[in-house]
Amino acid sequence: MNIGIDIGSRFVKFAVDDSKKIKLYKDNSLDFYKNLDYYKDTFKNDRIVTTGYGRHKLQVLSGKVIPELQAHALGAIKMLNLENFCLLDIGGQDTKVLLVKKGKLIDFRTNDKCAASSGRFLENMARILDIDITEIMESFEEPIEISSTCAIFSESEIIAAITNGVPIKRIAAGINYALFLRIKPWLKELKEKNIVLSGGIAKSPALMYFIKKEFKDTTIIVPEEPIYTGALGCLYYMEESDE
């Protein structure tokens, strides 16, 4: 079998091609680390390409390691049959914006693991508001202003808004807008008609709303399984290597 693995900070994503069909599944990262012996034994006769947050820290599975940017670009190209697009991937610990032209990755921006512009920011805010993260992602109307660019200081602003009786939906909308404002400069710099969203936040109605409101002439595209873009990119890398 050919197996693409994207080792993220929160989840490990697998794309497995058994010559009949491609199977997609994920495992909690901590559970993955705890069960390495199982995975090494299970995959010992398979071809593996790995990417993601833990690709260099975790040299326990045989196979090739490729950069995250390459894996996500290739995954989106093949999944969507697109040659020109800007890809926004908001992961658990970092955010990437890639520019692909004529099927080639030509430029990128990354936040270098800043919590304030990653999925971890939304998770922390959901904890403070005591609501599910999906409830946050659904809110975009009448957002409050969150001025701080630091995740830690943003928490103080959120707590102050709660104590002042601001409606939770407005606070949640403000959280989404603050996240959007942090990635907006990169989307402007690497602007393309098609904006592809991947990662755990890809299906956020609020994120799509703010992007479309700001970039009216763009088309937002969300893959059917956006969290597996990197893992599929690893799988497609093997296919291209065989050609």
pLDDT one-digit tens code per residue, 77-103: 999 999 999 999 987 677 899 999 999
Q: How far apart are CA 130 and CA 201, in angstroms?
A: 19
Distance CA 218, CA 69 (A): 22
Residue type, 19: S
pLDDT confidence of residue 91: 77
Q: Identify the segments of the chain with pLDDT beneath 70.
A: 54-62, 92, 112-118, 148-153, 242-243
Domain ranges of the chain: 2-112+182-242
Q: Burial code of 19-50, b = ≥16 C-beta within 10 A, e = fewer?
A: eeeeebebbebeebbeeeeebeeebeeebbbb
Phi–psi pair at 122, nearest 5 degrees: -65, -40
Q: Contact at 8 Å (CB) between 139 and 206?
A: yes
Q: Please choose, from the candidates 46, 99, 38, the residue with its C-alpha nearest in 3D space to the C-alpha of residue 235.
A: 46
Q: Under a CB-based contact definition with an 8 Å cutoff, are residues 211 and 204 in contact? A: no
| Dmax (CA) of the chain | 62
pLDDT for res 165: 94
Residue 164 is encoded by which pair of tokens? 């002042």
**pLDDT score for 42:** 85
Q: Residue 166 carries which DSSP code?
A: -
pLDDT, residue 95, reads 87
Nearby residues of 32 by Cβ (< 8 Å), 6 or more positions away = 7, 12, 39
What is the spatial distance between Cα 37 and Cα 25, in angstroms, rounded to a whole number? 19
* Number of other CB atoms surrounding residue 150 within 10 Å: 11
Q: For residue 18, what pLDDT is reported?
A: 84
Residues 89, 233 contacting (CB under 8 angstroms): no
**CATH number for region 2-112+182-242:** 3.30.420.40
How distant, in Å, are the alpha carbons of 27, 199, 207, 220 from that of 215?
Answer: 35, 20, 12, 10
At 59 the pLDDT is 56
